[in-house]
Amino acid sequence: MNAPNKSGWKPEMQVAESGFLGGPVTSTGNRGLMLEEALLFEIGRADVTGVDLPEVDANAATRLGGLARSNPIGLVGLTEPETVRHYTRLSRQNYGIDLGFFPLGSCTMKHNPRLNEKMARLPGFADIHPLAPQSSVQGALEVIHQLGEWLCKLTGMPAVAMSPKAGAHGELCGILAIRAAHEARGDAREVVLVPESAHGTNPATAAFAGYRVEDIPATPEGRVDVAALKARLGPDVAGVMITNPNTCGLFEKDFREIADAVHAAGGYVYCDGANFNAIVGKVRPGDLGVDAMHINLHKTFSTPHGGGGPGSGPVVLSEALAPFAPLPFIRQSGEGEFYLVEEENREERGPSFGRMTAFHGQMGMFTRALTYILSHGADGLKQVAEDAVLNANYILRSMEDILHAPFGASGPCMHEALFGDKDFTNGLSTLDVAKGLIDEGYHPMTVYFPLVVHGAMLVEPTETESKAAIDQFITAFRGVVGRALEGDEALKQAPYYSPRRRLDETGAARKPKLAFEG
């Protein structure tokens, strides 16, 4: 087999039975700077606190209606130095973008500028109450209004709903707007069409909104099968949910044709905007016939992922869907004052489908995203898309000689490169390659998604990476792939060098232990 030589991999790894790199086992389980850390409930004490507050006066009169707590809560505390050390030690068992390359496809792990963090913490944004009199929070309302206007300009859409809390919540917003629009004209439609390559949130959202979900197949070149989609359109189809650029990393070049067909059949077009970062500043989805699209501020506009949120999912809407936007939204009066349209003045804006969340959305993410947009400007955002796409194509073309790229012949990819595990031998899988990359110091790519490719590996470099960083990754990736092609048994046990080895996920699900006992 030639591939390993081509990849440049040198089989010289040695792994000790115990200990680390053949070194002795330590009495603490620590390995130098890599420190083990007990659970809070094993080291904390009920009588310890890290906050100086007045002692409880047991004789004080209370007005708790006889409901004063008599049983212990079961919490434990740590002093401040112990708390800082506990969570600092835990943090060091995490991989983050700050540490290295994080090519998690479809997730857009780009640099999180620290200016954004600083701006979100200005007391004028961080220390204001959502129900404060509107005259006292004009700057906050202006932030939401300005960000909303710029999202409209960037997408070429006339309206935006800012309150959705994350991408999936944004999907829900768009789908509810579509349902409300159909209901408003007495047209009960039951089906939403979703390509089989879609994010799991798409079918889950449509079902959550009361629709029946039907799959649309993909073509061999990795795009929506337009003929199949057109054949399925009819009076029972409320709309389609299509990701563009799609989850195979390709631009849906027939999107306009699809949109026109859906509209002609009386349906609406939902675009999953998770991959908007590939085209921001270059292409406006409004020009492609989109009726609703969510924008993950935590992807395209770099608000931090935070280990699983918070996100933010504003939804841009077409003229047809705008009247159904959720409450609240922001308007500007003739005198220039910003105000909220809420339940009490909802008549101002017609048949809104109602409220999706308490308050006004993810303000802390709005300030960060606005800061990001101001920093980049129209010129910088265009460059963001171009560099993200350039980096992804560079990886695609640097890997496809040894790694199966199922849609490599379909033309350039957009912001992410998709590979499959077709040529691995000796039972080695995509999972093994992912774990091998961990040993090389990388966060793995997205694995086993999209579902349309066997053993999918979706690599998204983003614009954040330098050429040197990408070249280094390609070398490492080729090395690990080479081992998978050659059938290197040792890869099945990877990772060796992470804070934990492979974890027993089956056991965790069979007998769930979801809280500390004791």
Partner 1 sequence: MRYLPLTDTDRQAMLATIGASTIDDLFVDVPEVARLDGPIHGLPMHASEMAVERHMKALAAKNLVAGEVPFFLGAGAYRHHVPASVDTIIQRGEFLTAYTPYQPEIAQGTLQMLFEFQTQVARLYGCAVANASLYDGSTACWEAVAMATRVTKRKRAVLSGALHPHYAQVVKTMAHFTGDEIADALPAITPDPELSGLIARIDEDTACVVVQYPDILGRISDLTPVAEAAHAKGALLVVVNTEPVALGAIKSPGEMGADIVVGEGQSLGVGLQFGGPYLGLFAVRDPKHVRQMPGRLCGETTDAEGKRGFVLTLSTREQHIRREKATSNICTNSGLCALAFTVHMTLLGETGLRQLAAENHRLACIAADRLAKVPGVEVLNNAFFNEFTLMLGGKPAREIIRDLADRGVLGGVSLGRLYPGVEALEHALLVAVTETTTEEDIERLAQELEASIKETV
Residues 358-417 that bind partner 1 (CB under 8 A): 358-365, 367, 370-371, 373-384, 386-387, 389-391, 393-394, 397-398, 411-412, 414
User: How many Å apart are CA 56 and CA 58, to the nearest integer?
Assistant: 6
In the bound state with partner 1, the residue whose beta carbon lies nearer, of 9 and 255, is 255
| CB of residue 81 to partner 1, shortest distance in Å | 9
Of the residues 27, 59, 62, 333, which one makes contact with partner 1 according to CB under 8 A: 62
Residue 506 has, within 13 A of its CA and on its CB side, a CA count of 0
| CB of residue 1 to partner 1, shortest distance in Å | 25
| CB of residue 180 to partner 1, shortest distance in Å | 8
Of the residues 24, 27, 32, 74, which one makes contact with partner 1 according to CB under 8 A: 74
In the bound state with partner 1, the residue whose beta carbon lies nearer, of 454 and 467, is 467
Of the residues 12, 28, 64, 335, which one makes contact with partner 1 according to CB under 8 A: 64
| CB of residue 104 to partner 1, shortest distance in Å | 6
| CB of residue 412 to partner 1, shortest distance in Å | 4
Q: Site map for partner 1, 286-305, x if CB under 8 A? A: -xx-------x-x-----xx
| CB of residue 143 to partner 1, shortest distance in Å | 6
| CB of residue 341 to partner 1, shortest distance in Å | 12
CB 499 within 8 A of CB 94: no
| CB of residue 211 to partner 1, shortest distance in Å | 9
33 binds partner 1 (CB under 8 A): no
User: How many Å apart are CA 312 and CA 325, to the nearest integer?
Assistant: 16
In the bound state with partner 1, the residue whose beta carbon lies nearer, of 54 and 334, is 54
Q: What is the largest CA-CA distance in the chain?
A: 82
76-115 binders of partner 1 (CB under 8 A): 76-78, 80, 83-84, 86-88, 90-99, 102, 104, 107, 109, 111-113, 115
| CB of residue 144 to partner 1, shortest distance in Å | 9
Tokens representing residue 33 in the block: 């700077």
CB 166 within 8 A of CB 273: no
| CB of residue 71 to partner 1, shortest distance in Å | 7
- Runs of H (alpha helix) within 284-328: none
CB atoms near residue 274 (< 10 Å): 29
User: How many Å apart are CA 307 and CA 95, to the nearest integer?
Assistant: 10
Burial classification of residue 402, based on how many CB atoms lie within 10 Å of its CB (0-12 exposed, 13-18 middle, 19 or more buried): buried
User: How many Å apart are CA 239 and CA 349, to the nearest integer?
Assistant: 24
Options 416-424, 452-460, 481-489, 490-498: segment touching partner 1 (CB under 8 A):
490-498
| Kind plus residue range of the DSSP H or E element containing 173 | helix 167-184
Of the residues 56, 59, 185, 333, which one makes contact with partner 1 according to CB under 8 A: 56
Q: What is the SS3 assignment for 337?
A: coil
DSSP state at residue 345? G
User: How many Å apart are CA 503 and CA 88, to the nearest integer?
Assistant: 22
User: How many Å apart are CA 451 and CA 430, to the nearest integer?
Assistant: 13
| DSSP string computed for 253-266 | TTHHHHHHHHHHTT
Of the residues 250, 325, 369, 456, which one makes contact with partner 1 according to CB under 8 A: 250
Residue 2: φ, ψ to 5°: -90, -25
503 binds partner 1 (CB under 8 A): yes
In the bound state with partner 1, the residue whose beta carbon lies nearer, of 391 and 420, is 391
305-364 binders of partner 1 (CB under 8 A): 305-312, 326-327, 342-344, 353-364
Q: Site map for partner 1, 253-282, x if CB under 8 A? A: x-xx----------------------x-xx
| Kind plus residue range of the DSSP H or E element containing 59 | none
CB 132 within 8 A of CB 475: no
Can you give the length of the chain in residues?
518
Residue 509 sits at the vertex; the CA angle it makes with 508 and 513, to the nearest 5 degrees, is: 55
Residues pairing with 218 in the sheet: 224
Of the residues 228, 341, 469, 490, which one makes contact with partner 1 according to CB under 8 A: 469
In the bound state with partner 1, the residue whose beta carbon lies nearer, of 1 and 409, is 409
421-460 binders of partner 1 (CB under 8 A): 434-435, 438, 443-444, 449
Tokens representing residue 306 in the block: 């935070």
DSSP state at residue 327? B
| CB of residue 480 to partner 1, shortest distance in Å | 14
| CB of residue 147 to partner 1, shortest distance in Å | 11
Of the residues 4, 44, 450, 479, which one makes contact with partner 1 according to CB under 8 A: 44
124-143 binders of partner 1 (CB under 8 A): 124-133, 135-140, 142-143
CB atoms near residue 217 (< 10 Å): 13
| CB of residue 116 to partner 1, shortest distance in Å | 9
In the bound state with partner 1, the residue whose beta carbon lies nearer, of 1 and 190, is 190
Residues sharing a CB contact under 8 Å with residue 77, sequence separation 6 or more, in sequence order: 44, 45, 46, 47, 48, 49, 50
**If binding means CB under 8 A, how many residues of this protein chain bind partner 1?**
207
CB atoms near residue 280 (< 10 Å): 23
155-214 binders of partner 1 (CB under 8 A): 165-169, 171-172, 176, 179, 199-201, 203-210, 213
Tokens representing residue 269 in the block: 């077009």
8 binds partner 1 (CB under 8 A): no
In the bound state with partner 1, the residue whose beta carbon lies nearer, of 248 and 485, is 248
